Amino acid sequence: MLAAPGLGGRAGEEIVANRPRFRGKRIKEDLASYARLLVDAGLVLGVCDWGFCVYREEYSACLGNAAGPNPARREPSTCARCQNFVVSEQHRPYWAIQVHRCQELLDEPALPLQTLRIVRARLDEARSLVRAIDCGRKESS
């Protein structure tokens, strides 16, 4: 995640903007040193199918505590709007499937208005994250 070219999510944008530029022969040593610095600073990293949580309690959309994210409230949509959330290329398949599923749901003629609004919001979230990942992919080419 530290050297991935395309990161999405609110924390992903922050990481890309603030991380050191890793170049040359020492990239592995530089990455290891940076990772140690983050761990020593108390970084808690949550991993799930849809992304990473670079956990900071004060920004937690899932209302986690000092121990970490709240597993009862941790779900893709909550994470997608959280300042701690990061997605990378490895999460693209999950979000691409979400785009497809939401598009299929929108084709249902009897979808209640409230459900329609939720599906549209989820579709926007998924498309936004796929775009962020794809944008990073293009920049690294």
Tens digit of each residue's pLDDT, the chain (141 residues): 665 666 778 777 776 666 655 555 555 666 676 667 767 777 778 889 999 999 999 999 999 999 899 999 999 999 999 999 999 999 999 999 999 999 999 999 899 999 999 999 999 999 999 999 998 766 665
Q: Tell me the domain boundaries of the chain.
A: 10-140
CB 39 within 8 A of CB 49: no
The total of other beta-carbon atoms located within 10 Å of residue 55's CB is 21
For residue 130, give Cα distances in angstroms to 22, 44, 112, 114, 139.
Answer: 25, 25, 27, 25, 14
CB 86 within 8 A of CB 52: yes
d(CA 66, CA 79): 17
